[in-house]
Structure 1
Amino acid sequence: MLGITEASPSQIPRPRRPVTRRVVIIGGGFTGAALARRLALSGAELEITVFEPRARLGAGLAYDTQDPALRLNVAAARMRALPDDPQAFARFLQETGRLACDPEAVAGEAIYARRADFGDFMQAQMAPLLAYGAVEHRREAVISVSREHGGYAVAGDRGSRLHADILVIATSHPAPRCPEPVASALSGTPRLMTDPFDTRQLARIAATDPVIVLGAGLTALDLVASLRARGHQGLITLLSRSNALPQPHATAHSASPSACEVLGQPLTARRLLTRVRAAVAAAEAQGLAWQSVFDSLRQQGQAIWSALPHAERQRFLRHLRRRFETHRYRMPPQIAAQLQEDKTAGRLQRLGGRIVDARGDAKGLSLTVSTRGGEERRLKAQWLLVATGPDHADVIARHGYLQDLAAQGLIRRDSHGLGLACDGASRAICAHGAPVDTLFVAGPLARGTFGELTGVPEIAAQVDAIAHTLLGNAIRQIEAQAFALS
């Protein structure tokens, strides 16, 4: 059995005297665990509680899997999960023997590890903190939150009730929305699978069954990889509005061009597109891959987003978002090879269009698709898998505790429909437009403010900034309130 290397015990604060200030983090995936770790290692006198129904902290929706077919779409050397030790994950793979047991992870000079390995890595970081009592893990889902004595009353689904002085929303990506008319026509049909993250359900699919996957992003490609790893040889149809797949990673040299070649002051979506095209042309003239430009663009993403006026952000989302995402969120080389093999063998087809009719019975499913070319096509399959991407626009309705906070006027949707509104310090924006000093939004739900906030390095940087703010301004406010009540 492979071992798990843990953080050095010398780094972990010993149990402290009881304190009255508690930080409650809702969600114990990478975002919530990284913040809990950062606060615990600060040595501040805080009680840190993470509500997370999964058995371990740090894995979350993305990495809590034992499916060996699911790989990171970023090279291990770029999974900079710990700002204080950027190469910690790459070193973890070597030291625990995971890399030696997974030779397929190596693609050229890069390593694309299994997602489960990154989940184990984060678990290793959290285990000592949990053992020493620096972080408490409540294995529960939060069902309600209400204002109480200047803080928050947080209730879990197993009976917990805690008072939080500071509350952090680090909820995972919401589930995808099943598109109409599929949702109404096929509701309750056992051949419709709406949870793309539970790949165990794929065991129900026979080896030659034809399958339709709604979506063509990385989650859809994960389903393809997982099916093939299980021996599935039937036809898979990727159906999406754009018919655009994630692009592959570069095989040639891809050193990033200088930041000024992309950024400048692109105050409109059109100018941004023009600058990116110019940067790609310049990079290719230097013998660099176009991917180098998007690696640089990723590093500048938050600055570019913050400079764009609201209307230009909307134009970007409406006209450029899908094009950007297919170049920004690239497929790992292993999946690229699998897709090429399937295409050559005639086991994979792609179709761009909109579903106008859906029917299902005991014999199978059929969809009528209005294609991008204007014609209608009829697709038949035994199974329909939904992988259309997280439904961030409706995230408040997906969680009872967020509905509570919204009803109390403490949170609201961001104006772009990407998650929850917050300011540049990640403080939630209330219904009246003011930031709430003791309520934070961490992780992808804050994308409306930050733009680029999906990858591990960007989330790690946001977590570090939240910790800095939380340990400063928010704590001082609590102390001032306590003084005023004394």
Structure 2
Amino acid sequence: MLRITLPLQKQVTPVPTISRVAIIGGGFTGATIARLLALHGQYWPHEIVIFEPRADLGGGLAYDTNDPSLRLNVAAHRMRAVPGDPQAFLRWLSNSGRLGRDPGAMANGAIYARRADFAAFMAGQIQPFIDDGIVRHVRERAERICRRHGRWQIEGDGGAALQADVVVIATGHPPPTPPGELASHLSVDHRFMPDPSRPEALSAIRRDDKVLVVGAGLTALDALGALRARGHRAEITLVSRTGYLPQPQAAGDFAPHGDFLIGVPNTALSLLERVRFALREVTEAGLPWQSVFEALRHQGQAIWRALPLLEQRRVLRHLRRRFEAHRYRMPPQIAELVERDRIAGRLKTCAGRIVAVRPGRAEIAIDIATKPHGTVERHAAQWVIVATGPDHGNVIGSQSCLAELESLGLLTKDPRGLGIACDHDSRALARDGYPVEDLFVAGPLARGAFGELTGVPEIAAQAERIAQQILAMSVATTRTITIRSM
């Protein structure tokens, strides 16, 4: 009898290790990461979970508004929100009919869409994955995040509780922190608005009430635009440390100008000198100065990474406000409103710091030590609005789930005061300085590591990198079965 033993090896189809991903925050950043993960087709139903109290995903604080006066400050064709499809939003805007219903969108030869339209676009991007069950939307705010049996335990403020293998913190911008003088004297005064982003916040202001806005950036101009759209006609004063307003957008299209990656500047001073040289070049060539700041935006992350921590802090201390006024520009519609109001005397700006606050029955009096000589000026208004922008230095303290992670040593503040400390792979840095492999920081909260991480194209690119890293963590395992035939 002939007996033959043939060892046969059969490779079975790889079995993926499916990991549940919990995304904290469902604005543009969180929704984009969820969509990119869902597109890969690797996850089972409800294995991608977003904690977001808003009804719709994709809008977040920045775009979730029904106020038609609030527009994107970037032209629609530059809103490269979908990786691999840079014109997706512009195409949707036209095909959906929303552009045809917005006659005021066209300005300076470009389309500046309403923020509500961009929110609707983003909601449409993620909704199919919610409908088919791949993405689960938990309409709660994450209250607790901790470790339990080697996994993450997440609990919401409405009773939801689940475990996950990976957590992505994508909560976006924290609320502003009012200056101390305002907080101590006006904290219980109904005429004091520490957060103008709430939809009902401005509705109580009457058309002839004087308004003092603390801040002079895009948030302050949002308040200006929203009030004027409601028929407000009284004086509005913008108070800030520098008095700089966001600069206007340039008309038409233009290419970025300036190569800052050849001999990358490694000090704040050398960076400033390079920028000034590039500005002189474009001025002499008759090109818009905005082209230099477009180059800075494109090359910003590499420039930031080349600066030592000490020089990064110098940039923030000495150059930040000037940079932001030129980098985060106002849409043409708001620029026109600002110019019109200035000429009519309805809009005033003041550079200085608040030194005294005296609330009265009819008005609130505020003393400001003005620049450059410290002369004290008294301003009076019926309403005071805080529009100082997000307090990134206090982001951990503003959210209980982040504070708990910090108490566990799994999260730390960014040493530059720009949010949460993370490495260049967007992994959160623990108290000991080492990255937490399964905890990611996405969006503006990671600005400390990346520098340029506020615009939609930059956030979309980071979201794509994070999604690829998470997918790589779900490594396919191959079971090798040996069959012996006798």
TM-score when normalising by structure 2? 0.92
**Structure 1 residues 184 and 479: alpha-carbon distance in aligned structure 2, compared to 1, 3 A threshold:** farther
The correspondence of residues 433-452 of structure 1 with structure 2, limited to 5 A, is: 433-452=433-452
CA distance in structure 2 between the aligned counterparts of 1:358 and 1:180, rounded to whole angstroms: 10
Deviations 1:18-76 (A, max 9, x none): 98620000000000000000000011235100000000100100111000010000000
Instruction: Name the counterpart of 1:380.
Output: 380
- 1:319 match: secondary structure: helix
Instruction: Name the counterpart of 1:275.
Output: 274
Structure whose alpha-carbon radius of gyration is higher: 2
CA distance in structure 1 between the aligned counterparts of 2:40 and 2:142, rounded to whole angstroms: 26
Deviations 1:155-212 (A, max 9, x none): 0111111001000000121110010111011111000011121243211111111000
Instruction: Name the counterpart of 1:147.
Output: 147
The correspondence of residues 449-460 of structure 1 with structure 2, limited to 5 A, is: 449-460=449-460
The correspondence of residues 199-238 of structure 1 with structure 2, limited to 5 A, is: 199-238=199-238
Regions of 4+ moved over 6 Å:
none
What is the CA-CA distance between 1:368 and the residue it aligns to? Answer: 0.7
The correspondence of residues 347-426 of structure 1 with structure 2, limited to 5 A, is: 347-372=346-371, 373-426=373-426
Select 2:24's aligned residue among 21, 26, 35: 26
Deviations 1:233-283 (A, max 9, x none): 0000000000000000112663222535x7631011111111111111112
Unpaired runs of at least 5, structure 1:
1-16, 481-486
Residues 263, 300 of structure 1: 8 Å contact kept: no
CA distance in structure 1 between the aligned counterparts of 2:336 and 2:107, rounded to whole angstroms: 11
Letter matched to residue 374 of structure 1: G
Instruction: Name the counterpart of 2:36.
Output: 38
**Structure 1 residues 345 and 23: alpha-carbon distance in aligned structure 2, compared to 1, 3 A threshold:** same
Instruction: Name the counterpart of 2:319.
Output: 320
Residues 43, 134 of structure 2: 8 Å contact kept: no
CA distance in structure 1 between the aligned counterparts of 2:86 and 2:253, rounded to whole angstroms: 22
**Structure 1 residues 340 and 162: alpha-carbon distance in aligned structure 2, compared to 1, 3 A threshold:** same
What is the CA-CA distance between 1:383 and the residue it aligns to? Answer: 0.2
Unpaired runs of at least 5, structure 2:
1-14, 479-486
- 1:289 match: secondary structure: coil
Instruction: Name the counterpart of 2:12.
Output: none
What is the CA-CA distance between 1:365 and the residue it aligns to? Answer: 0.7
**Structure 1 residues 414 and 167: alpha-carbon distance in aligned structure 2, compared to 1, 3 A threshold:** same
CA distance in structure 2 between the aligned counterparts of 1:392 and 1:176, rounded to whole angstroms: 8
Residues 170, 442 of structure 1: 8 Å contact kept: yes
CA RMSD, 1 decimal: 1.6
Residues 428, 435 of structure 2: 8 Å contact kept: yes
- 2:104 match: secondary structure: helix
Letter matched to residue 289 of structure 1: P
Instruction: Name the counterpart of 1:11.
Output: none
The correspondence of residues 235-250 of structure 1 with structure 2, limited to 5 A, is: 235-250=235-250
- 2:180 match: secondary structure: coil
Residues 19, 45 of structure 1: 8 Å contact kept: no
Q: Count residues with an aligned counterpart.
A: 461
The correspondence of residues 116-265 of structure 1 with structure 2, limited to 5 A, is: 116-251=116-251, 254-260=254-260, 264-265=263-264
Residues 17, 477 of structure 2: 8 Å contact kept: no
CA distance in structure 2 between the aligned counterparts of 1:26 and 1:63, rounded to whole angstroms: 17
Letter matched to residue 35 of structure 1: I
Moved more, 419-428 or 199-208: 199-208
Structure 2 residue 310 is the aligned partner of structure 1 residue 311:
yes
TM-score when normalising by structure 1? 0.92
Instruction: Name the counterpart of 1:5.
Output: none
**Structure 1 residues 340 and 199: alpha-carbon distance in aligned structure 2, compared to 1, 3 A threshold:** farther
Q: Between Structure 1 and Structure 2, which shows a larger proportion of helix residues?
A: 1
The correspondence of residues 61-100 of structure 1 with structure 2, limited to 5 A, is: 61-100=61-100
Letter matched to residue 136 of structure 2: E
- 1:351 match: secondary structure: strand
Q: What fraction of aligned residue pairs are identical, expressed as a percent?
A: 54
- 1:120 match: secondary structure: helix
CA distance in structure 1 between the aligned counterparts of 2:323 and 2:22, rounded to whole angstroms: 35
What is the CA-CA distance between 1:109 and the residue it aligns to? Answer: 1.9
CA distance in structure 2 between the aligned counterparts of 1:194 and 1:441, rounded to whole angstroms: 27
Letter matched to residue 335 of structure 2: A
Letter matched to residue 23 of structure 2: I
